[in-house]
Amino acid sequence: MNNRIKRIAKGMFEQFRHRQITESEFVQAEAKARNLGGYMDDFNVLIAMCKDTITGKYKMDKWNLSIIIGTILYVVSPIDAIPDFILVGGWIDDVAIVGYAIRKLSVEMEQYKRSKFPVEAR
């Protein structure tokens, strides 16, 4: 990932570190997930992790939670690096940010999946 996307991501995550997320934003994120191509399923896992952490069903450190919240808010925001109304290009920055978050949280995502879907239940 290029340095520009890393700077955007780091600034965004710091900005949203203490931000609450609304149910409406979760609904918007779930609706926009289909635009993320191969990242759709992982983005939905991030949404579920966020919801479960907020409701106390899953424990995660605040920094990782802020990464997820920042990612969700970036995807649902009409104002981002490349506006979504620009065909194809408008989703490139969203996909890059989601991909960055998934890479940063890959271990946490695996822990979450194991806690949510234990091997015995599979």
* CA torsion through residues 55, 57, 63, 66, sign: negative
Any domain includes 99: yes
Residue type, 42: D
Task: Render the burial of 54-78: b for 16+ CB within 10 Å, e for the rest.
Answer: eeeebebeeebbbbbbbbbbbbbee
Residue 121 pLDDT > 50 = no
82 domain residue, yes or no: yes
**115 — pLDDT class (breaks 50, 70, 90):** very high
Coil, strand, or helix at residue 80?
A: coil
Q: Look at residue 38 and tell me if it is in a domain.
A: yes
* Residues shown for the chain: 122
Domain enclosing residue 80, as ranges: 6-116
Cβ atoms of 70 and 13 within 8 Å: the answer is yes
pLDDT tens digit sequence for 60-113? 998 899 889 989 988 888 765 555 555 555 667 788 889 999 999 999 999 999
Query: Residue 29 pLDDT more than 50?
Result: yes
pLDDT at 31: 93
Would residue 122 count as lying in a domain?
A: no
Residue 122's pLDDT band, with cuts at 50, 70 and 90, is very low
Give the closest residue to 39 by CA, choosing from 108, 109, 102, 92. Answer: 102
- Domain assignment present for residue 1? The answer is no
Q: Which helix (H) or strand (E) holds 84?
A: none
Q: Does any domain span residue 54?
A: yes
What pLDDT score does 107 carry?
96
Q: Is residue 68 part of a domain?
A: yes
Residue 67: inside a domain, yes or no?
A: yes
pTM, whole model, 2 decimals?
0.77
Residue 117, pLDDT score: 82
Structural domain total, the chain? 1
